[in-house]
Structure 1
Amino acid sequence: MDKVFPILETDRLLLREVKMEDAKSVFYYLSDKEVMKYYGMAPMENVCEAEEEIAWYRRIFDEGTGIRWGITLKDTSEVIGSCGFLQYTAQHARTEVGLELSKEYWKSGIMTEALTAVIQYGFSHMELMRIQALIDPENIASQKLFEKLGFLQEGLLRKYERTNGKFEDVHMYSLLKDEYNAAVLKPVE
């Protein structure tokens, strides 16, 4: 992985490194019960927790085990969500993708735009073979998002994660590089 944090740009978005000065913005959406409903952890209770999350983003980047971009609109510098990779394994050319977005921006196409850029970066720059996502079976919106981008549901991982003291099932979704390339290179009809 690159040692200089890459900036990704789309039509409406700038995906950049999340910095400590973004802690209040990160806290804003990660303290929201609706945003955190399927996130795998309790809503944050103070800005210090957001600072710890940002430090973790930096740590996984420095260790080469992941990369997490802050999602910003081009006309503002405020972080409204994040999207990126974790559990990156170079030997197997695979990673897991995770994301969240402030609810004010739900159903606006922003996450589709951000995730598309992140997926493209993973397959082209990181030379990934597989990108996978773990999705709560009740999180229909995320399932639809990933399916729209070509991910296939592979199965149910029973009692796979412990969230707030309770074991939860998750669906495993994945997208392979050859599937992505076939979709991208498919002629327009």
Structure 2
Amino acid sequence: MTDTLPPVLSTARLRLRPFTYDDVASLFRVFSDEQVVRFWSVGAWTELAQAEKMIEEALLAYREGGLSRYAIALAETDELIGICNLRGFFEQNRRCELGYALGSAHWGRGYAFEALEALLGHAFSALDMNRIEADIDPRNDASARLLERLGFRQEGYMPERWFVHGEYADTAFYGLLRRYWDERSLSRSSAAAAG
């Protein structure tokens, strides 16, 4: 996983692709939105330099490994509308962590599900992961529904794990095993064949 760009992952409406410096303004638009970062571990961005820094970190990680960060872009226009990533790789255990954010102008259209389904499929096949973890603020109902729809199961809870936006926030931990993913895929294939 060193010195290479992650492969582009395509879906019906999206392209998950490596970042470029052309993404600065769109990335800033996502993370400067108070709605997007409401349940994030940091506040809304206030400077374009913060977007530039995230892109620089992603480009460095492409060279050094340890982070697989994608721009979620519309297939038709290549406009960045969000991000998703795999990080915290533990190769011996074939485990990593999932992160994601989508611009609020694009909520409610199934884009997050579409993007994460492609990323998780890639993680379990090409990257040979066995376990993928995610942690969210338990008040983020939309994110909990998204993870559960993808096959994640809630596994734990830590009260007051973060202090952000002037308050303590809890964390709900979710896990997705390869066997859950395979069972889900088999079930979806069977349903499609029957329907």
CA distance in 2, matches of 1:60, 1:156: 30
Q: What is the aligned partner in structure 2 of residue 158 from structure 1?
A: 159
Q: What is the aligned partner in structure 2 of residue 135 from structure 1?
A: 136
Do the aligned residues in 1 keep the contact of 2:5 with 2:18 (CA within 8 Å)?
no
Q: What is the aligned partner in structure 2 of residue 85 from structure 1?
A: 86
Please provide the CA RMSD for this pair.
1.5
Q: What is the aligned partner in structure 2 of residue 64 from structure 1?
A: 65
CA distance in 2, matches of 1:54, 1:162: 25
The Cα shift of 1:157 comes to 2.1
Per-residue CA deviations over 1:9-37 (Å, capped at 9, x if unaligned) read: 00011111111121011001110000111
Per-residue CA deviations over 1:77-135 (Å, capped at 9, x if unaligned) read: 21110111111111211111011111111010000000000000000011001011001
The Cα shift of 1:58 comes to 2.1
Q: Secondary structure at the match of 1:91?
A: helix
The Cα shift of 1:172 comes to 0.4
Q: Structure 2 matches for 1:68-147, cutoff 5 A?
A: 68-147=69-148
Do the aligned residues in 2 keep the contact of 1:64 with 1:88 (CA within 8 Å)?
no
Q: Secondary structure at the match of 2:66?
A: coil
CA distance in 2, matches of 1:160, 1:91: 27
Q: What is the aligned partner in structure 2 of residue 40 from structure 1?
A: 41
CA distance in 1, matches of 2:102, 2:161: 24
The Cα shift of 1:167 comes to 4.5
Q: What is the aligned partner in structure 2 of residue 26 from structure 1?
A: 27
Identity %: 33
Q: Secondary structure at the match of 1:154?
A: strand
The one-letter code sitting in structure 2 at the alignment partner of 1:48 is A
The Cα shift of 1:165 comes to 6.7
Gaps of 5+ in 2: none
CA distance in 2, matches of 1:166, 1:58: 33
Do the aligned residues in 2 keep the contact of 1:60 with 1:86 (CA within 8 Å)?
no
Count of residues in correspondence between the two structures: 189
* Structure-1-length-normalised TM-score: 0.94
Per-residue CA deviations over 1:29-84 (Å, capped at 9, x if unaligned) read: 11000011112111110111100011122233333211111011111021110111
Q: Structure 2 vs 1, CA of residues 57 and 163 (structure 1 numbering), >3 Å: closer, same or farther?
A: farther
The one-letter code sitting in structure 2 at the alignment partner of 1:181 is D
Matched, 1:169 2:170: yes
